[in-house]
Amino acid sequence: MKTIEPLETIDVTLDAPGSKSITQRALVAAALAEGDSVLLNPLVSEDTDYSIAALRKMGVVIECEPEQWRITGRGGRISAACLPRQAAEIFLGNNGTATRFLTSVAALAEGGAIRIDGDQRMRERPIGPLLAALRGWGVAIADDLGNSCPPLTITGQGIDGGATILPEGKSSQYLSSLLLVAPYARRKAAIRVEGEVLSKPYVAMTIAVMAEFGVQSEFNHDFTEFAVEPGHYQGRVYEIEGDASSASYFWAAAAVTAGRVQVANVPAPSLQGDAMLVALLARMGCEVNAAERLPGRQTGGFVLSGSKNLQGIDVDMAAMPDVAPTLAVVAAFAHGDTVIRNIGHLRIKECDRLSAVVTELRKLGVAADEFPDKMVIHGNGGHGLRGARIDTYHDHRMAMSFAVAGLKIPGVEIMDEGCVKKSFPDFWRRWALLAGR
């Protein structure tokens, strides 16, 4: 249990860890590339540890040093024969991104079967649309429990390519997974997405990482049709920007305390859609500026100065669901209603984040309403709120979001504080920097 100490105000410059989303995309591209790659400032966390262990089981050589990883690419030649048994097990915990990405990578393997599994929560997180699209490319893949969730068994025989349909775009990770392996199909790969593509910035991120490793994609304006020619990624040195989702908690800390925070390694502009949170905080009354480049850095990042008079807003957060809990906590200290729309996909994250956020806000005395795909926080400037023990549901983002509330409300205690290791293992050390420690 972690007790959060309230602070009067904040004035600090710090770095966020490397972006989890970019790290996992770059890992896949480097693993499939021709030649060696070096990833600078990668995220070291529980999730990326799972990804590295899985890729090593697929025969990828990855050498991890402080602040950089060296990956020897296999040129798309993933082999199940690298694994100790014919139906080899890869365990990915509750790493949804890796489960979706590596399911497609496993389809490239030849000479055996790969079984991808996770913890109990991962076995409840659906992956059916991805399975349907891979089958459309001729991939032999089975959901072993018949529920469109892991465990999955992929009998590697490569990817035919041609045209396939992704039945829904509610998780951008399905689409990113297909795009990342598309260059290694036997013929030009085409993907058509049915329905609206949510979290479009994550798809744009995937396309950008692919381009950095030498593969171009064709796509239409609304990200529902894609085509990728057969080809290969090329090994390279690639620097990963700071994680905007991780930075969000520090920007939020400045917002609620009327303080100042500069996160120096999240660039403006950023590849990450979650960096758009700063624009939403500006709508609530904060001041946001892009800082001048720091000595020895490629960026100075964003500087956010908070306000004593935050105002509620109405916002569609389909494109940045991971920072919806952060904004919801800030909204508890605003005046008026904050409506966060189009976030039904929060229910298939590490926990049902839509329900969990509303439940824990109510413990603090916040008036909040839950709907199927939105939440409404009735802000009263933070008046009359009380301390409480916050359950995290084994979800790293719940722990970090509600730490923000404890900066203004005495007696906020975060249960299972160690769950932050999933994406931000040294979060509590960096959080102490807010108090000058």
Number of other residues whose CB lies within 10 A of the CB of residue 237: 11
Query: What pLDDT, on a 0 to 100 scale, did the predictor assign at position 106?
Result: 95
> How many Å apart are CA 59 and CA 56, to the nearest integer?
5
> How many Å apart are CA 124 and CA 187, to the nearest integer?
34
The residue assigned the tokens 């410059």 is 13
Beta strands in 358-435 (DSSP E): 367-371, 374-380, 389-390, 413-414
The rounded radius of gyration (Å) of the Cα atoms in the chain is: 21
Per annotation, catalytic residue among 322, 337, 352, 426: 322
Classify residue 355 as exposed, middle or buried by CB count within 10 Å of its CB (0-12, 13-18, 19+).
middle
Q: Can 322 be counted among the known catalytic residues?
A: yes
Query: What pLDDT, on a 0 to 100 scale, did the predictor assign at position 83?
Result: 56
Q: Which residues, 6+ apart, have CB-to-CB distance to 65 below 8 Å?
A: none
In this prediction, the residues of the chain whose per-residue pLDDT falls under 70 are 80-87, 294-298
- pLDDT tens column, 390-428: 999 999 999 999 999 999 999 999 999 999 999 999 999
Number of other residues whose CB lies within 10 A of the CB of residue 296: 5
Query: What pLDDT, on a 0 to 100 scale, did the predictor assign at position 9?
Result: 86
Query: What pLDDT, on a 0 to 100 scale, did the predictor assign at position 5?
Result: 96
∠82-85-91 over CA atoms, to 5°?
Answer: 85
Write the DSSP symbol of residue 197.
B
Query: What pLDDT, on a 0 to 100 scale, did the predictor assign at position 2?
Result: 97
- Give 34's strand partners: 234
Please say whether the beta carbons of 88 and 55 come within 8 A: no
Domain architecture of the chain: domains with CATH: 2-17+241-435 (3.65.10.10), 20-223 (3.65.10.10)
Beta strands in 118-270 (DSSP E): 140-143, 152-157, 162-166, 189-193, 218-219, 225-228, 237-239, 260-263
Task: Please give the helix or strand (H or E) that residue 68 lies within, else none.
Answer: strand 68-72
Q: Taking the complete model, does pTM exceed 0.85, yes or no?
A: yes
Query: What pLDDT, on a 0 to 100 scale, did the predictor assign at position 111?
Result: 72
